[in-house]
Structure 1
Amino acid sequence: SAQTYSLSRNLPYPPSLVYSVISDVDSYCKFVPYCVESTVIHRDSRTNQPIKATLRVGWKAFEESFESQLKCEEPHSVIAQSCKHSLFKLLYTRWRIIPHADQSLTRVVMDLKFAFANPLYNTVSATFAPTVTKIMIEAFEQRIAEM
C-alpha cells in the first residue's frame, strides 16, 4: 500500500513567490537534493504553465528517470503525478500554497504519496522517507529565501 507524508511550514514570503519557485520545475536540478536533471517537456499553450516534465534522480550508484504530469494552478497549488514507471506503482506530490491570516506569512503544505513496485523497496523506504520529505521541503524553503 502507499506511504503518505505531509509537512507544512509558515514562510515569511508572499504566495506568488512561493508558487513561482515550486512551479519552476526546470530549476529543480539546481536546488532539489538527489535531482540531477529536470526538464519541462510540455507547457500549456494558454497559460505557459508546465504540464509535463522529466526528472532524473540519483543517489550513489542509483539513478532513475521518470515523467510526471503536472497541474499548476497559480498561485494555489502544484500537483505532480508520475506517469507509468517500472520503479513506482504510485508517485504523487501536491503542494498547497495558502494565504495566512498574518499577511506577512504564507502557509505551504507538501503532501507526498508513493508506492514502489518492489515490496522490498517499500519496506526499506519507510525508514528514510520521513527524512527525505523533510530535506525536500527545506530545499524549497531555502530556494525561496534566496529569491
Structure 2
Amino acid sequence: MSIQMIHKAFYSVKLSPVPKGVKIFSKTFKLDDIPAASVYKTITNIDLYHKYIPYCTNSKITAVSPTTKMPTEGCLNVEFQKYSIFFTCDVQCKENKLLKECIATVKEEDSSSKPLFDYLSTKWTVKDLNGNLIETDNDKLVAKAFKGIDVSLIKEAKVMQEKNPGSEINLELAFKFNSYLFQTISVVFGDAVLELIIKAFKNKMIDMHKHPGH
C-alpha cells in the first residue's frame, strides 16, 4: 500500500504543542573513527529510513530548504502489531563548525485507530570528539608564527584537516501517549525504542561511511 493510499484511508489528527507530562529519554554514544559530517548525512537522509529502521515501512523527504537544501519536512509510515501509523514531521537542521542538530517533531498523525501520541519528537546532536582540540591546535599554530618559530603552516594545517577524531552523538526522544495506561508504562517503551533506533542508526552510519555512494 502506498503512502498516498494510507493517507486517504486513515483520519488525520493535528498534534498539540509540547504538553505537560512529556517523557524524555536521552542517550549519548560515540563512533571513534567516523566524522560528524558523515554521521549527520545519515541522520538527515530521511529517504533511506525505511531500509534499516525496524517497523518503518516507508519514508520520504517532502520539503527542503531552498538555501541549505536540508530537509524541512518528512513523513514516515510505521507498522507494529495491530498499528499502522503515518507520521508527518517538521524537521529542523542546524549546524556550525563544532555542532550539528536535527530535530523532527510530529505535526500530524494518521492512524487506523485512535491516535497513539499527543506529542512525539526526536532530537539528534552530533559533534566531533576533539573539536575543541582542533581549535586549540589552530591557536598553537598562530602562537608559533607570532613568536617567529619556523613552522610549515600549510603542512601542519593539512595534518589537522586530515585528523579523523570521530563523533559524539546524542539522541533525545520525547513523547506523550494519549492513553494513560501507555503513558504509565512508557519507561519501558522509551528505553526499548531508544536502543532500537540507536542500534539501527549506528550500523547505518558505519555502513554509509565505508560506502558513501550507497
Q: TM-score range by the shorter chain?
A: over 0.9
Normalising by structure 1, we get a TM-score of 0.92
The 5 A counterparts of 1:50-89 are 50-74=71-95, 76-85=100-109, 86-89=115-118
**Structure 2 CA distance, aligned partners of 1:4 and 1:139?**
20
Superposition RMSD in Å:
1.6
User: Which structure 1 segments of 5+ residues have no match?
Assistant: none
Secondary structure of 2:54's match?
coil
* Greater Rg over alpha carbons, structure: 2
Cα deviation, residue 68, structure 1: 0.5
Say yes or no: does 1:21 pair with 2:22. Answer: no
Which has the higher mean CA deviation after the structures are superposed, 131-140 or 79-88?
A: 79-88
Aligned to 1:141: 202
Runs of 4+ in 1 over 4 A off after TM superposition: none
Say yes or no: does 1:38 pair with 2:99. Answer: no
Deviations 1:51-102, CA, capped at 9 Å, x for gaps: 0111111112211011100001246010001104443211111000011128
Say yes or no: does 1:3 pair with 2:27. Answer: no
Cα deviation, residue 128, structure 1: 2.6
**Structure 2 CA distance, aligned partners of 1:22 and 1:40?**
12
**Structure 2 CA distance, aligned partners of 1:10 and 1:127?**
24
Which has the higher mean CA deviation after the structures are superposed, 34-43 or 70-79?
A: 70-79
**Structure 2 CA distance, aligned partners of 1:128 and 1:81?**
18
Aligned to 2:10: none
Identity %: 27
Q: Of residues 111, 117, 128 in structure 1, which corresponds to 2:189?
A: 128
Which has the higher mean CA deviation after the structures are superposed, 66-75 or 12-21?
A: 66-75
Aligned to 1:100: 129
**Higher helix proportion, which one?**
2
**Structure 2 CA distance, aligned partners of 1:29 and 1:84?**
19
Cα deviation, residue 37, structure 1: 0.9
Residue-pair matches, total: 147
**Structure 1 CA distance, aligned partners of 2:85 and 2:183?**
16
